[in-house]
Structure 1
Amino acid sequence: MSATLPAVEVHASPEVRPGAVLAVVSSAAFLASLDLFIVNVAFEHLGRSFQGVSLADLSWVLNGYAITYAALLIPLGRLADRFGRKAGFLLGLGLFTAASAACAASTGLWSLVLSRIAQAAGAALLTPTSLGLLLNATPPEGRTRAVRIWAAVGSLAAAAGPVAGGLLVELSWQWVFLVNLPVGIVALIAAARIIPDSREAVHGPLPDLLGAGLLGIAVGALSLALDKAQEWGWSDGRTGVSLLVSIVAGGLFWWRSSGHPAPVIEPALLRVRTFAWANLGVFLFSVAFAASLLTGILWMQQVWHYAGLRTGLAVSPGPLMVPVFATVAQRLSRRVGAGWLAAAGCVFCAAGALHSMMRVGAEPDYLTGMLPGWLLTGIGVGLAIPTLLASATVDLPPARSATGSAIINMSRQVGMALGVSLLVALVGGSVGGALRAAFGHVWMAAAVVALCAAPLCLGLNTSRIRTPSSA
Structure 2
Amino acid sequence: MRKWGPLVAVCLGTFMLLLDVTIVTVALPAMAGALNASLSDLQWVIDIYALALAALLMGAGSAADTVGRRKVYVVGTVLFALASLACGLSTGSGMLVAMRCVQGVGGAAMFATTLSLLGSHYQGRDRGVAFGVWGSVSGAAAALGPVLGGLLTQDLDWRWIFFVNLPVSVVAVVMTLRYVRESRGAAGQRLDVWGTLSWTVFAGAVTYAVIRANAVGWGSSRTLVMFVVAVLALVAFLLVERKVAHPMLDPRLFRGSSFVAVMLAAFALNAAAFGVLPYTSIWLQTVLGFSPLKGGLVMVPLAAAAFVVAALSGRLLHGAPARYTVGGGLVLIGAGELAMTVLKGSSGWTALLAGLIVAGVGVGLVNPALSQAALASVPPYRAGMAGGSVNTFRQLGYALGVALFGTLAADRMARSLTGHAPDPHGTAQALAGGGAQGILAHVPQSARAATGLAMRTAFTSGLDAAALWAGVVGIVAGVLALWLVRPQEHQAPPAGPAADGTPAVPDRAGSAV
Determine helix, strand or coil for the equivalent of 1:357: coil
Q: What are the equivalent positions in structure 2 for 1:293-372 lying under 5 Å apart? A: 293-334=277-318, 336-358=320-342, 360-363=343-346, 365-367=348-350, 369-372=351-354
2:276 to 273, 292, 301: 292
CA 415–461 in structure 1, closer or farther in 2 if over 3 Å, else same: closer
TM-score (normalizing by structure 1): 0.91
**Structure 1 counterpart of 2:149:** 165
**Structure 2 counterpart of 1:192:** 177
Instruction: Say if 2:419 is the partner of 1:436.
Output: no
Paired residues of 1:82 and 1:199 also in contact (CA < 8 A): yes
Q: Distance in 2 between matches of 1:47 and 1:228?
A: 18
How large is the Cα RMSD of the aligned pairs?
2.0
Instruction: Say if 2:263 is the partner of 1:282.
Output: no
Bigger-Rg structure (1/2): 2
**Structure 2 counterpart of 1:462:** 486
Q: Deviations over 1:36-73 (max 9, x none)?
A: 1111111222122221x321232111111111111111
Structure 1: segments with no counterpart, 5+ residues: 1-15
Paired residues of 1:272 and 1:467 also in contact (CA < 8 A): no
Paired residues of 2:279 and 2:406 also in contact (CA < 8 A): no
Q: Distance in 1 between matches of 2:326 and 2:378?
A: 19
Paired residues of 1:271 and 1:467 also in contact (CA < 8 A): no
Identity of aligned residues (%): 33
**Structure 2 counterpart of 1:180:** 165
Instruction: Say if 2:452 is the partner of 1:452.
Output: no
**Structure 2 counterpart of 1:6:** none
Q: Deviations over 1:331-376 (max 9, x none)?
A: 3434742212222211221222122111x33335333x12222211
Determine helix, strand or coil for the equivalent of 1:26: helix
Paired residues of 1:99 and 1:116 also in contact (CA < 8 A): yes
Counterpart code for 2:357: L
Deviation at 1:423, TM superposition (A): 1.9
Deviation at 1:23, TM superposition (A): 0.9
Instruction: Say if 2:139 is the partner of 1:155.
Output: yes
Q: Deviations over 1:268-288 (max 9, x none)?
A: 222344322111112123221
Structure 2: segments with no counterpart, 5+ residues: 411-425, 432-454, 496-513
**Structure 1 counterpart of 2:34:** 49
Q: Distance in 1 between matches of 2:25 and 2:492?
A: 39
1:90 to 53, 56, 74: 74
Q: Distance in 2 between matches of 1:83 and 1:44?
A: 41
CA 17–138 in structure 1, closer or farther in 2 if over 3 Å, else same: farther
Q: Distance in 1 between matches of 2:369 and 2:359?
A: 15
**Structure 2 counterpart of 1:240:** 224
Q: Deviations over 1:181-235 (max 9, x none)?
A: 111111111221222222236232x222222222222122222222122211222
TM-score (normalizing by structure 2): 0.84
Instruction: Say if 2:109 is the partner of 1:103.
Output: no
Deviation at 1:459, TM superposition (A): 4.4
Counterpart code for 2:474: A
**Structure 2 counterpart of 1:4:** none
Counterpart code for 1:400: R
Q: Distance in 2 between matches of 1:231 and 1:279?
A: 30
1:34 to 19, 27, 41: 19
CA 216–246 in structure 1, closer or farther in 2 if over 3 Å, else same: same
**Structure 2 counterpart of 1:410:** 392
Instruction: Say if 2:4 is the partner of 1:19.
Output: yes
Deviation at 1:468, TM superposition (A): 9.1
**Structure 1 counterpart of 2:211:** 227
Q: Distance in 2 between matches of 1:176 and 1:252?
A: 38
CA 57–17 in structure 1, closer or farther in 2 if over 3 Å, else same: same
Q: Deviations over 1:370-400 (max 9, x none)?
A: 2222211111111123212221102433322
Name the stretch that deviates more: 335-344 or 54-63: 335-344
Name the stretch that deviates more: 76-85 or 414-423: 76-85
Paired residues of 2:377 and 2:487 also in contact (CA < 8 A): no
Instruction: Say if 2:383 is the partner of 1:401.
Output: yes
2:130 to 133, 140, 146: 146
**Structure 2 counterpart of 1:9:** none
